Structure 1
Amino acid sequence: MKIKNGPTFGYVLMRDFLSALAKILMHNPTSYENYHRIYVPDGYPLKCEPKEALRVNVVFQHIQNIFSDDSTAITEIGDSWYKFQIQCRFIGWSVGATLGYTQSAL
């Protein structure tokens, strides 16, 4: 194993490498926190405590209560930041998808 333009090491065990790496890295829980916000265990969203910040998995719970077995949801993945959507072309595909779905459901 050669580290950039530095020394070369041979036969480095993964546990030794990870132990040494862990000593120099700073803890960053952001990825885990994002995962926890959207995680839905066993298909049942978590309950939200009073005064707790709204999480995506709690929004899922409210949305699931709106729909029945006969419902269809067509959603966009774009961001609510309008200027960004225009630049990245996220706006608009759901309109065509809705028209196509409507025609097929008739």
Structure 2
Amino acid sequence: MLFTERGLTVRAVSAGIWTTRLSQGRTVTTRTPAVPAPITPARWEPAVEDWYPGPDAARTDRVRRSVTLDTLKPWSQIPEPADSAGIGCYCTTVTLPAGWSQSHGA
């Protein structure tokens, strides 16, 4: 349940009829249509900025690394950045099927 400028919005993981009790005690019933199947990305491209001690206490050296994965994994299970400390960004691209709209959410 989410309150937006357009009113109450319900998001569900499956089709069904849902009853929600509002704060004033009133109940509302919502029917949700079929929900599209999950989309599994074909690959992930984690970009890692690995931080190392620099030549003196006030400096940090950074090494950027990129890898390509077939499935999403935590850093500790990816050999390249397994023992890294720094910043990581997991990137992927998905293609939404025809008929997908804003009402499906993300």
TM range (shorter): under 0.3
> Larger % of helix: which?
1
Whichever of the two has the greater Rg, that structure is: 1
TM-score of the superposed pair, with normalisation by structure 2: 0.19
| Higher relative contact order structure (alpha carbons within 8 Å, sequence separation ≥ 6) | 2
